[in-house]
Copies of this chain bind each other. A is one copy, B any other.
Amino acid sequence: MEVTNIENQQLTIQKKIDKVLCNSADVESCCPIKDILARFGDKWSIYTILTLGKQEKLRFNELKSQINGVSQRMLTVTLRSLEEDGLVSREVYAEIPPRVEYSLTPLGQGLLLQLLQLADWAKLNVDQILEARERYGKKSTQGV
């Protein structure tokens, strides 16, 4: 009975993998994980999403000062791509000097939750990964 349950679980996982891989000839075009990864896999998107997750609405320079190390150019690029995918909304007020406020859309908040889950897993397993690295390092140092 337990064995059957485990087998069923395994089957479910394999089916999911099949769907994700799509068995397509074209690697780039079909994997949904790759798609979302393109949304936050670059250098600054995660920090931008997390920072916006904390404060609701932020102006351009507020974001820039809170995301340590980001250049003006890259913050602009990052925000534009997040805006394009509907993860971040951009509101421009026709004032002088101009005021622009960025915030997470509901979709962006959903992605934020996914990222936090990923972070939970990371925290739970980071030790194992570090241990594995140490073992690997020793292995390559050994003469034999």
Query: Footprint of B on A, CB under 8 Å?
Result: 13-14, 16-21, 24-27, 31-37, 39, 41, 46-47, 50-51, 53-54, 67-69, 83-87, 107, 110-123, 125-126, 128-129, 131-133, 135-136
Contact = CB atoms under 8 A, between A and B. Distances in A.
A16 B116 contact: yes
30 contacts: A13-B113, A13-B116, A16-B120, A17-B53, A20-B116, A21-B51, A21-B54, A24-B68, A25-B68, A32-B122, A32-B126, A35-B126, A36-B118, A36-B121, A37-B41, A41-B41, A84-B132, A84-B133, A85-B129, A85-B132, A85-B133, A86-B131, A86-B132, A86-B135, A86-B136, A107-B129, A110-B121, A110-B125, A111-B125, A118-B118
Prevailing SS type, chain A contact patch: helix
Contacts of A67: 27
How many copies are assembled? 2
A83 B126 contact: no
A121 B110 CA distance: 9
B69 A119 contact: no
Contact of A69 (B27, B120, B122): B27
Nearest to A131: B86
